[in-house]
C-alpha cells in the first residue's frame, strides 16, 4: 500500500511513511509503559506518547487535505483506496487515544489510593481514640487541632505575602531596568546624532581648509611673480619686453651733467 500511495503522490507517500513511523513509536511506547512501575515515570512516558499522538493527528489532517486535492485528478477506485487508508489511520489513532485515557485513569487511581488509603486508617484510629476520650479531652484536642490549622493558615499567608513581595520587587526591578534601557537607547540615539553632526562639520571644515590652501597657494604664486618682475626690472631696467608694474614708478634715467664752456 505504501508503494502504491507513493506512486500516486510522492508527498502522500512521505506523509504515510511519517504516520507509520509514529504508529510504530506509539506501539513500542505503550509496551514500554506497561513495564514501568513508578507513577512519575509513567506520567512522563504518557506525556511523550500524547505529543506523538498530536503530531500523528496533524499528519492525518494533512493527508486528508492532500487526498481532497487529488480527488479530481485520480480515478474513483484510487480515491476510494486513499479514503479507506485515511479511515484506517484515524481508527488506529483513536485506539491509541483510548489506550492513553485508560492508562491516565489508572495513574490517577493510583495517586488517589496513595494519598487516600492511609487517611482512612488515620480516621479509624482517630475514631477509636475519640471514643475513649472525655469531653474535656475532646475539646482540648479540638482546640489543639484548630490552633495547628490556624498556624498552618498563617504560614500559608506568610508565604503568599512573601511571594507577593518578591513579585512586586521583581516587577519594580524589571520596570527600573526597562526605564534604564530606554534611557540608554535615547543616549545612544543622541550620541549617534552628535557623531553624524560632527562628521558633517569635519567634512565642511576640510572643504574650507582645502579652499583656504588653494587661495594661499594662488596668492603665493602672485607674490612670487611680482617679486620676480621687480627683480628683473631692477637688473635689466632698459629691457622693453618687460612691462612696468602698475603703481610702481619706472627707474630714473641716468643724467649727465652738461658743462657750460666759457
Same domain for 65 and 11, yes or no, is yes
pLDDT tens, position by position, 191-213: 878 888 888 888 888 888 888 88
Say whether both 72 and 183 belong to one domain.
Answer: yes
| pLDDT band, residue 251 (cuts 50/70/90) | low
Instruction: Considering only the C-alpha atoms of the chain, give the largest distance between any 2 of them, rounded to a whole number of Å.
Output: 183
Q: Which of 18-22, 47-51, 146-150, 187-191 has the lowest mean pLDDT?
A: 146-150
In this model, does residue 183 exceed pLDDT 60?
yes
Residue 119 lies in a domain: no
| pLDDT confidence tier of residue 104, bands split at 50, 70 and 90 | confident
Cell 488515620 sits on residue: 122
The answer on 220 and 187 residing in a single domain is no
Q: What is the mean pLDDT of residues 132-150?
A: 70
Within this chain, do residues 51 and 72 fall inside the same structural domain, yes or no? yes
What pLDDT is recorded for position 121? Answer: 44
Query: What is the average per-residue pLDDT within 166-192?
Result: 86
Bin 247: left if φ > 0, else alpha if -120 < ψ < 50, else beta: left
pLDDT of residue 90: 93
Task: Please indicate, yes or no, if residue 259 is contained in any of the structural domains.
Answer: no
Say yes or no: 181 and 214 in one domain.
no
Q: Are residues 93 and 202 in the same domain?
A: no
Per-residue model confidence as pLDDT tens digits over 44-59: 888 899 999 999 999 9
Q: Are residues 185 and 221 in the same domain?
A: no
Residue 141 located in a structural domain? no
Q: Would 247 be classed as within a structural domain? A: no
Question: How long a stretch of residues is the chain?
Answer: 262
Residues 6+ apart with CB under 8 A from 164: none
- Of 95-99, 116-120, 170-174, 234-238, which range is least confident? 116-120
DSSP track, 106-158: HHHHHHHHHHHHHHHHHHHHHHHHHHTS-HHHHHHHHHHHHHHHHHHHHHHHH
* pLDDT for 50: 92
Same domain, 188 and 235: no
What's the pLDDT score for residue 186? 84
If asked whether residues 109 and 201 sit together in one domain, one would say: no
Q: Is 72 exposed, middle or buried (0-12, 13-18, 19+ CB in 10 A)?
A: exposed
Buried b (16+ CB within 10 A) or exposed e, 132-155: eeeeeeeeeeeeeeeeeeeeeeee
Digit-coded pLDDT (tens) for 54-79: 999 999 999 999 888 888 888 888 88
Mean pLDDT (the chain) is 78
Query: 156-167: per-residue pLDDT in tens?
Result: 788 888 888 888
Q: What is the pLDDT of residue 253?
A: 55
User: What gap in Å lies between CA 164 and CA 183, rounded to an integer?
Assistant: 28
Residue 181 predicted with pLDDT over 90: no
User: What is the total count of domains within the chain?
Assistant: 2
The string of DSSP codes covering 61-101 is HHHHHHHHHHTTTS-HHHHHHHHHHHHHHHHHHHHHHHHHH
How much is the average pLDDT of 246-255? 54
148 belongs to a structural domain: no
Q: How far apart are CA 232 and CA 244, in angstroms?
A: 11
Lowest mean pLDDT of 126-140, 192-206, 233-247, name the range.
126-140
Domain containing residue 106: 1-114+176-192
| Statement to judge: residues 188 and 209 lie in one domain | no
CA 39 to chain centroid:
36
Nearest to 88 by CA among 70, 71, 69, 64: 64
For residue 218, is it within any domain? yes
109 and 200 co-located in one domain? no
Is 132 inside any structural domain?
Answer: no
Q: What is the pLDDT of residue 20?
A: 92
Domain check: are 187 and 235 in the same one? no
Whether 27 is covered by a domain: the verdict is yes
User: How much is the pLDDT for 28?
Assistant: 92
Amino acid at each position: 500500500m505504501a508503494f502504491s500511495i507513493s506512486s500516486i503522490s510522492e508527498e502522500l507517500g512521505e506523509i504515510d511513511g511519517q504516520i507509520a513511523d509514529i504508529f510504530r513509536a506509539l506501539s513500542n511506547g505503550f509496551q514500554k509503559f506497561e513495564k514501568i512501575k513508578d507513577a512519575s515515570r509513567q506520567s512522563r512516558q504518557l506525556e511523550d506518547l500524547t505529543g506523538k499522538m498530536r503530531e500523528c493527528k496533524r499528519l492525518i489532517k494533512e493527508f486528508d487535505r492532500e487526498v481532497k486535492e487529488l480527488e479530481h485528478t485520480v480515478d474513483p477506485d484510487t480515491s476510494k483506496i486513499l479514503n479507506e487508508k485515511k479511515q484506517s489511520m484515524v481508527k488506529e489513532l483513536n485506539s491509541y487515544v483510548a489506550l492513553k485515557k485508560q492508562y491516565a485513569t489508572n495513574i490517577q487511581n493510583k495517586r488517589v489510593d496513595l494519598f487516600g488509603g492511609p487517611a482512612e486508617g488515620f480516621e479509624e484510629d482517630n475514631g477509636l481514640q475519640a471514643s475513649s476520650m472525655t469531653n474535656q479531652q475532646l475539646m482540648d484536642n479540638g482546640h489543639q487541632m484548630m490552633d495547628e490549622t490556624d498556624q498552618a493558615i498563617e504560614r500559608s499567608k506568610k508565604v503568599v505575602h512573601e511571594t507577593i513581595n518578591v513579585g512586586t520587587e521583581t516587577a519594580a526591578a524589571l520596570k527600573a531596568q526597562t526605564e534604564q534601557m530606554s534611557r540608554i537607547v535615547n543616549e545612544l540615539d543622541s550620541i549617534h546624532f552628535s557623531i553624524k553632526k560632527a562628521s558633517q562639520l569635519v567634512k565642511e571644515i576640510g572643504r574650507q581648509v582645502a579652499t583656504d590652501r588653494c587661495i594661499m597657494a594662488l596668492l603665493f604664486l602672485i607674490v612670487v611673480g611680482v617679486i620676480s618682475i621687480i627683480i628683473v626690472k631692477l637688473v635689466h631696467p632698459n629691457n622693453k619686453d618687460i612691462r612696468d608694474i602698475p603703481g610702481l614708478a619706472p627707474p630714473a634715467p641716468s643724467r649727465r651733467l652738461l658743462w657750460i664752456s666759457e
